[in-house]
A = this chain, B = another copy of it.
Amino acid sequence: MPSEFEKPTIYEVAERAGVSIASVSRVLQNKPGVSEATRKMITSVMQELGYVPSNAARGLAGCRAGIIGLIFPDLDDPSMESGHETLLYFDEIIRGAQRAARQEGIAVLIAATHSASGRELALSIASKVDGLVVMARSVPEVDMRSLATRIPTVLLAADRHISGVDYLIADNEGGAAAVTRHLVEYHKYPTVKFIGGPSNSPDSRARFRGYCKALALANLEVPKSPWMAGDFTEASGRRIAKVILSKGSLPRSVVVGNDQMAFGMMKVLISEGIKVPQEVAITGFDDLPVARYLQPGLTTVRQPMRQLGAESIRLLLVRLGGATSPQSVTLPTELTLRQSCGCVNDDY
């Protein structure tokens, strides 16, 4: 570090104020044991010197670093196209977390794990922060366990529980049930098919469960498995649309497992002259910002992404506050009606 940057230390403040560093420290932390007069005096000297306590020293001396780490998978997109929106999902969560953290006066360290680097990175981050918010699948489960033993951790959007970590997830099941019910009860479509994501995705499974529940509630026949399934990418949505088209007969409505696949499907269907929603109604899941810009606007289920971020910080703070028993929290999702389901909603 070039010496041009000189920061005043607590000693300089103490000396200049004619007190001991203990008093300065007490003022710094608003602790009692300092008279009002001295406190004012010290405060003004700190101002004057532009003193800012060293975070490293504070951390070392047994206090908090005042930093929380956010770890999420770096879904690097070979085809930039498909990855772009997925990323947005994390960005929103990050933003929510960041805001919540700022309100608490703590900073947020972000780290995207490349598949390979997961373990190593997580550890290196862990040494810099007080607690960790980990997105599902950014760190291998084994490493999660060892991480959780050395630092408070909350896991976001994961399905499997690991002992000692807090859980936070959006209500996928309820959301899927809500869209499905909308198509069945409000629009009274004769057929409502479900298109899932990867079969091992907890999100996809939960959404399918919700779909089934809604069907059961309406006394409709409940399928054993999704009608078709993709991998949550726009490309797979396009592929599925083509398969459907080749079948000859179209379902009246389709509940798609996420927005991106819905984008791809709509694009293909429309380019093939099929009218959405007049011939096929389509719904998505996530409410990516792009959803409202599509023609027609995509009816979807909004995930409270920022809220997920904010809540994860809250959970972590509770944990850091000394709570020993980890919690498990589910956040509600919200049906967002636009035109692709058949509603004539202008959104503005």
Q: Mark A residues whose CB is within 8 Å of B.
A: 1-2, 4-7, 50, 52-60, 62, 64-67, 69, 74, 84-85, 87-88, 91, 94-95, 98-99, 102, 105, 107-112, 114, 117, 121, 123-128, 130, 146, 149-152, 263, 289-290, 293-295, 320, 322, 324
Query: Taking A102-B112, A111-B107, A117-B102 as contacts, is the C-beta distance between A64 and B295 under 8 angstroms?
Result: no
On whether the beta carbons of A56 and B60 are closer than 8 Å, the reply is yes
On whether the beta carbons of B67 and A109 are closer than 8 Å, the reply is yes
Query: Taking A121-B102, A324-B2 as contacts, is the C-beta distance between A108 and B107 under 8 angstroms?
Result: no
Tell me which residues across on chain B come within 8 A of A324, comparing CB atoms: 2, 4
On whether the beta carbons of B126 and A52 are closer than 8 Å, the reply is yes
Instruction: Name the one of B108, B121, B127 contacting A54, with C-beta atoms under 8 angstroms.
Output: B127
Instruction: Name the one of B55, B290, B293, B322 contacting A128, with C-beta atoms under 8 angstroms.
Output: B55
On whether the beta carbons of A110 and B111 are closer than 8 Å, the reply is no
On whether the beta carbons of B109 and A111 are closer than 8 Å, the reply is no
- How often does this chain occur in the complex, in copies? 2
On whether the beta carbons of A128 and B87 are closer than 8 Å, the reply is no
Query: Taking A64-B1, A150-B5 as contacts, is the C-beta distance between A128 and B107 under 8 angstroms?
Result: yes
CA distance A55 to B13 in the complex (A): 25
Query: Taking A57-B60, A109-B108, A111-B108 as contacts, is the C-beta distance between A50 and B91 under 8 angstroms?
Result: no
Tell me which residues across on chain B come within 8 A of A60, comparing CB atoms: 54, 56-57, 59-60
On whether the beta carbons of B112 and A110 are closer than 8 Å, the reply is no
On whether the beta carbons of B98 and A5 are closer than 8 Å, the reply is no
Instruction: List 7 contacting pairs A-B, 8 Å CB cutoff, sorted by A.
Output: A2-B324, A5-B149, A52-B126, A69-B107, A88-B289, A91-B94, A293-B293
Query: Taking A5-B149, A5-B152, A56-B60 as contacts, is the C-beta distance between A110 and B123 under 8 angstroms?
Result: no
CA distance A105 to B58 in the complex (A): 23
On whether the beta carbons of A1 and B320 are closer than 8 Å, the reply is yes
Looking across the interface, which residue of chain B has its beta carbon closest to that of A146?
B50
On whether the beta carbons of B67 and A56 are closer than 8 Å, the reply is no
On whether the beta carbons of B53 and A127 are closer than 8 Å, the reply is yes
On whether the beta carbons of B5 and A151 are closer than 8 Å, the reply is yes
* Chain B nearest Cβ from A348, distance in angstroms: 8
On whether the beta carbons of A52 and B121 are closer than 8 Å, the reply is no
Query: Taking A320-B1, A324-B4 as contacts, is the C-beta distance between A128 and B66 under 8 angstroms?
Result: yes
CA distance A18 to B6 in the complex (A): 39
* Chain B nearest Cβ from A342, distance in angstroms: 20
On whether the beta carbons of B59 and A55 are closer than 8 Å, the reply is yes
CA distance A121 to B325 in the complex (A): 32
CA distance A320 to B2 in the complex (A): 8
Tell me which residues across on chain B come within 8 A of A55, comparing CB atoms: 56, 59, 65, 127-128
On whether the beta carbons of A108 and B105 are closer than 8 Å, the reply is no
Tell me which residues across on chain B come within 8 A of A65, comparing CB atoms: 55-56, 128
On whether the beta carbons of A52 and B124 are closer than 8 Å, the reply is yes
CA distance A125 to B53 in the complex (A): 11
